[in-house]
Amino acid sequence: MKSLRVVYAIARADFQERVRRYSYLVTLLFAVYLGYAAGTGQISIHLGDYRGLYSSAWIGALVSLVATSFVSLVGFYIVKSAVERDRRTGVGEILAGTPLTRVSYLLGKFLSNCAVLGSMVLVLALAAVAMQLLAAEDRNFHTWALLSPFLLLALPAMAMTAATALLFETLRFLRGGFGNVLWFFLWGVGVAVPALMELPQLDPSGLWLVYASMAPAARAGIPGYVNSFSLTLADKYVPVAPGFHWNGIGWTTELVLLRLVWLAIAFALVLCGVFFFDRFDPARSRTWPCVEPLPEGVPIQAETGASAAPRPPLRALASLTPLASDVRHSGTSRLVVAELRLALKGYRWWYAVAGGLLVAQFAAPLDISRGPLLASAWIWPIFVWSALGTREARFNTEQLLFSCPRILRRQLPAAWFAGFIVAALTGLGAAVRLAFAGQFAGLVAWAAGAVFIPSLALALGVWSGASKFFEAMYTALWYVGPLKQVPGLDFTGSADGPQAFRFALMYLVIAASLATAAFLKRARQLRAA
Amino acid sequence: MKLEIDNVSKTYRGGVEALRNFRLELGPGVLGLLGPNGAGKSTLMRILATVTRPSTGRVLWNGKDIQDDPDMLRNALGYLPQDFGIYPNLSAIEFLGYLAAVKGLGAACAQRRIGELLELVNLVDVARRPLGGFSGGMRQRVGIAQALLNDPKLLIVDEPTAGLDPEERVRFRNLLSELSGDRIVILSTHIVSDVEAVATNIALIDRGKLVLHDTPETLLAGVNGKVWEVVVPSGDLPSLRQRHIVSSTAHRSDGVHTRVVADTIPGPDAHPLEPSLEDAYLAALTAHRTREGP
């Protein structure tokens, strides 16, 4: 009983801390937007060229799938901060000195994660009710058909997201940016594998369970229907299939248990995290030791007592060389170099891969060089870019930096320029190849990409103060753009063909807007408090 | 060289008044800014360091409003915040090099200055180790070094001796004394002994208001003949605390030796003591709170 109270206290405090933040409002607004997008047909389930009537069953399935697909993808990044926040604020160290068990702590955080994601599902459920009333395509309101998908599809999916986010936080190598990128691909695999293997049992999102339920009705009611099913962003009007009648998922005991299994798996993931959770022990959580052994021959310096041996005579203040007034204003180039060093510090094997990709860009055929190789070269430095604009908040150096002269005009542009240099150097091979091939439009597109990436990183970093938003958004954009070659979304320009120049200009405009947004936000931060 | 704080107030969101009509004028020397926790010291430090803007009022550096041109002051400023971070993967040399570039120091000048400062704060032996492995005291010394990078004319240090061992603390006090010759040093702390050691002037702040601004000598003169030692049984200590300001106690075999600040002799066996700055601080704070009410 006492343990339950502790779990509740952890969950409650964490949830309160989150919902009182401005970002939680943004989170709910995102859920409202998703509800609006579903209600206005921007997100839709397609059965071939048709959709179903906006009945309770259809709307319940549609909006709950929006929750399990989009909210589970984005929600991961929203909730993956529960343990990190305690680590950063120092609360974790206080908790570590209490009898709190790892299980209680992680269960509390899991429940808080579930509550945050659950509140988004609740918003979507309310949106679903409003959607049926406003669309008025079917005035028969069936509460169970409308709400059961939220209970049995969305909530288990949210539990899986909540538990995975927590598990990632307990694993040191998944705690940071790598985990953020990995989630995107893991989520994609989670959606694709059940379809490829035709096993709805493997599908935490419930997408294929809905398909398995709708398909027989579609085959019966839609002439020429051949198993086409997608939850997609609709770019044109989709007509209602007149002969299609579907009353919702027929929830059998087996299906309900199938969904509840995901809750059990989520619970197991949390318990799994117990084995990896360091309980805020700095010796286990940092990559550097608290007290690093001194080199041989260096006398140990006492930090806590006055009984240390007398120290050697030190330099007196008077012996400091006075600063001449003319050395106080070095150019921004020195700061750019400093920012570049700071950005690349700590990456040991990073250079080898970046160098290999660069050499390959020079050696491979042009199409390969500016296509997959440039795409690879421009995903590899993602963690270098994601630190732009966030480093000051993350390491609490804001006060030191913000009290320095010309900080807005010098440091922020220098940080951006360091990011641009990383993009330019890692993608240099493709640029040189384009130049030698005389492909001016391609070169402009490459330059636009190199300008766009640090601008996006800086804007998201300065505005959010966290690197995960860039990591998530950039990974998604990189996946659909440079990797999947969707024209217009490929910021490297290789997929844009004759329209490369036009899209390059578009990305330059976007980059300028993003850089301006970063600049304005940082100016506001300097004025704030 | 003059720093004027002209009627500065700061109200945070939610209506919390951290500073109220604060006025102070400073010239070269060390100002010890004393006050209890939550008095508004760190808010004042942040305003003077141009990190935070006042809600009303002005801060003038050599007659010019720092809000109109913060860089004018920032060029002359060294600031050690109470709570600051470091980049854990950088070494002390790299971190100071980065901040030197941010502060606009040239490469050769910065390199020389960093070497000298690392020697000054006794970090030469560990200068190339990642800061992530530094103890709290070592980080604090890196903070002190960064504040001195640009040879500041105005040095603001907020609780600078927190985490330093006694030897380093003495060294830092001496450093502040040396610095004070031709610059303004503002030392914010609630450790009275730090102020006693180095301050040429003292400002006492409580609940966002300036209580007094004077020299340590004048402050001490105010409690001259008002500090006593009284030996009482430990059971009488609570009632003594209710009647008088008790600045320290020490349990001995004959009872509790109590240091009391009182206008009149607190008991028949009391004998007078030489006042300390801590006595003067407590007396001034209590008198202010009695005047102002709860």
- Provide, as residue numbers in chain A, all residues whose Cβ is less than 8 Å from the Cβ of B178: 316-318
Contacts of B84 in chain A (CB under 8 A): 396-397, 399-400
- Which residues are within 8 A (CB) of A349 and not within 5 positions of it... i.e. 6 or more apart? none
Q: What is the three-state SS of chain B?
A: CCEEEEEEEEECCCCCEEEEEEEEEECCEEEEEECCCCCCHHHHHHHHCCCCCCCEEEEEECCEECCCCHHHHHCCEEEECCCCCCCCCCEHHHHHHHHHHHCCCCHHHHHHHHHHHHHHCCCHHHCCCEHHHCCHHHHHHHHHHHHCCCCCCEEEEECCCCCCCHHHHHHHHHHHHHHHHHCEEEEEECCHHHHHHHCCEEEEEECCEEEEEECHHHHHHCCCCCEEEEEECHHHHHHHHHHCEEEEEEEECCEEEEEEECCCCCCCCCEECCCCHHHHHHHHHHHHHHHHCC
How sure is the predictor about A306, in pLDDT bands with cuts at 50, 70 and 90? very low
Residue B107 to residue A324, Cβ atoms within 8 A:
no
> What pLDDT is recorded for position A52?
86
Q: Euclidean distance between the first and final Cα of chain B, in Å? A: 38
Residue A289 in this model has a pLDDT that exceeds 60: no
Residue A230: predicted pLDDT: 83
Ranked by mean pLDDT, the top range of A147-151, A320-324, B240-244 is A147-151
Instruction: Report the residue from A294, A311, A317 with minimal CB separation from B120.
Output: A317
- Could you tell me what percent of chain A has a pLDDT over 90? 40
Q: Is the pLDDT of residue A19 over 90?
A: no
Reference B51, options A404, A413, A520; nearest CA is A404
Query: Residue B102: pLDDT above 90?
Result: no
Q: Is the model more confident about A191 or about A504? A: A504
Residue of A nearest to B46 (CA): A399
Contacts of A286 in chain B (CB under 8 A): 88, 132
Task: Give the gap in angstroms from C-alpha A164 to the nearest C-alpha of chain B.
Answer: 28
B208 or A327, which is more confident: B208
Judged on CB neighbours under 10 Å (0-12, 13-18, 19+), A204 is buried
Instruction: Return d(Cα A410, Cα A131) in angstroms, integer.
Output: 50
- List the structure tokens of A35: 């509800």
Q: B275: left (phi > 0), else alpha (psi -120 to 50), else beta?
A: beta
| B29-34 and B64-65 beta bridge pairing | unpaired
- Is B133 in Cβ contact with A289 (below 8 Å)? yes
As a whole-number percent, the residues of chain B with pLDDT over 90 amount to: 47
Q: Give residue A305's pLDDT.
A: 39
Is B119 within 8 Å of A315 when comparing Cβ atoms?
Answer: yes
Map tokens 């060089």 to a residue. A369
Amino acid found at B101: A
Q: A498 or A391: whose pLDDT is higher?
A: A391
Residue B79 in this model has a pLDDT that exceeds 70: yes
CB atoms within 10 A of CB B38: 13
pLDDT above 90: residue A444: yes
Please name the member of B87, B122, B148 whose beta carbon is closest to the beta carbon of A314.
Answer: B122
- CB A405 to CB B74 under 8 A? yes
Three-state SS at A51: strand
* Three-state SS at A451: helix
Contacts of A303 in chain B (CB under 8 A): 135-138, 165
Which of B89, B101, B167 is opposite residue A334, by nearest beta carbon? Answer: B101
Contact between chains at B87 and A342 (C-beta distance less than 8 A): yes
The predicted-structure confidence for A31-77, as pLDDT tens digits, reads as follows 888 888 888 888 888 888 888 888 999 999 999 999 998 889 889 99
Of A289, A320, A346, the CB nearest to B120: A320
Q: How many other CB atoms are there within 10 angstroms of residue A87's CB atom?
A: 17
**Shortest Cα distance, chain B CAs vs residue A390, angstroms:** 12
Under the banding of pLDDT at 50, 70 and 90, the label for residue A326 is: low
Residue of B50, B51, B69, B188 to mutate when probing chain A, most A C-beta within 10 A: B51
Q: Which tokens hold the place of B290?
A: 């009695």
Contacts of residue A316 in chain B, CB cutoff 8 Å? Answer: 120, 178
Smallest Cβ–Cβ distance between B102 and the set A286, A316, A404 belongs to: A404
Contacts of B98 in chain A (CB under 8 A): 338-339, 341-342
Write the pLDDT tens digit of every residue in A174-224. 988 889 989 988 988 888 888 777 777 788 888 888 988 998 888 888 888
Q: Do the beta carbons of residue A366 and residue A437 sit within 8 Å?
A: yes
Task: Mark yes or no for CB contact B133/A288 under 8 Å.
Answer: yes
Interface test with A, best of B102, B121, B185 (most A CBs within 10 A): B102
* Residue among B71, B84, B116 whose CB faces A397 most closely: B84
Q: What is the pLDDT of residues A91-109, one digit of tens each?
A: 787 787 777 888 999 999 9
**Rounded Cα–Cα distance for residues B63 and B52 (Å):** 19
State mean pLDDT over B232-239.
89
Reply yes or no on whether the pLDDT at B165 is more than 70.
yes
pLDDT at residue A329 is higher than 70: no
Pairing between strand B56-61 and B3-11? antiparallel
Map residue A467 onto helix, strand or coil: coil
Contact B102 A335 (CB under 8 A): yes
Write the residue in A341, A391, A403 that is nearest to B74 by C-beta: A403
Q: Which of A328, A400, A529 sits opposite B150 (nearest CB)?
A: A328
Q: b/e string for B52-83 if b means 16 or more Cβ within 10 A?
A: bbbeebebbbeeeebbeebbbbbbbbbbbbbe
- Residue A287 with chain B: CB contacts under 8 Å: 132
CB-CB under 8 Å, A403 with B77: yes
Cβ neighbours around B107 below 10 Å, total: 15
User: pLDDT value at position A294?
Assistant: 40
Task: Determine the pLDDT at residue A301.
Answer: 41
Each domain of chain B, given as residue ranges in start order, spans 1-76+152-215, 85-150, 221-292
pLDDT category of residue A283 using cuts at 50, 70 and 90: low
CATH number of the domain at B1-76+152-215, please? 3.40.50.300
Flag if B112 and A323 touch (Cβ within 8 Å).
no
Q: To the nearest whole angstrom, how far is the Cα of B276 from the nearest Cα of chain A?
A: 24
Helix (H/G/I), strand (E/B), else coil: A222 = coil
Would you place residue B291 in the very low, low, confident or very high pLDDT band (cuts 50, 70, 90)?
A: confident
- Side-chain half-sphere of A23: how many Cα atoms within 13 Å? 15
Average pLDDT, chain A: 85
The sign of the CA dihedral A81, A86, A90, A96 is negative
Of the candidates B182, B135, B143, B183, the one whose C-alpha atom is nearest the C-alpha of residue B160 is: B143
* pLDDT tens-digit series, residues A383-416: 999 999 998 888 888 888 888 888 888 899 999 9
Backbone angles phi, psi at B252, to 5 degrees: -130, 175
Q: Do A290 and B83 touch (CB under 8 A)?
A: no
Contact A290, B133 (CB under 8 A): yes
Question: How many Å lie between the alpha carbon of B243 and the closest alpha carbon of chain A?
Answer: 37
Minimal-distance CA residue of chain B relative to A407:
B102
- Give the nearest partner residue to A395 out of B74, B87, B106, using CB atoms: B87
For residue A328, list chain B residues with Cβ-Cβ distance below 8 A: 75, 103-106, 150
> Rounded mean pLDDT of B177-182?
78
A154-158, B42-46, B209-213: least confidently modelled range: B42-46
| Per-residue pLDDT at A495 exceeds 90 | no
List the beta bridge partners of residue B58: B6
Residues of A in contact with B115 (CB under 8 A): none
Question: What is the rounded CA–CA span in Å between residue A402 and residue A406?
Answer: 9
Q: How many CA atoms lie within 13 A of A44 on its CB side?
A: 20
- If one compares A343 and A500, the residue with the highest pLDDT of the two is A343
pLDDT of residue B294: 66
Q: At residue A290, does pLDDT exceed 50? A: no
Residue B42's pLDDT band, with cuts at 50, 70 and 90, is confident
In this structure, are residues A120 and A67 in contact, taking their beta carbons and an 8 Å threshold?
A: yes
- How many cross-chain Cβ pairs, A to B, lie less than 8 Å apart? 171
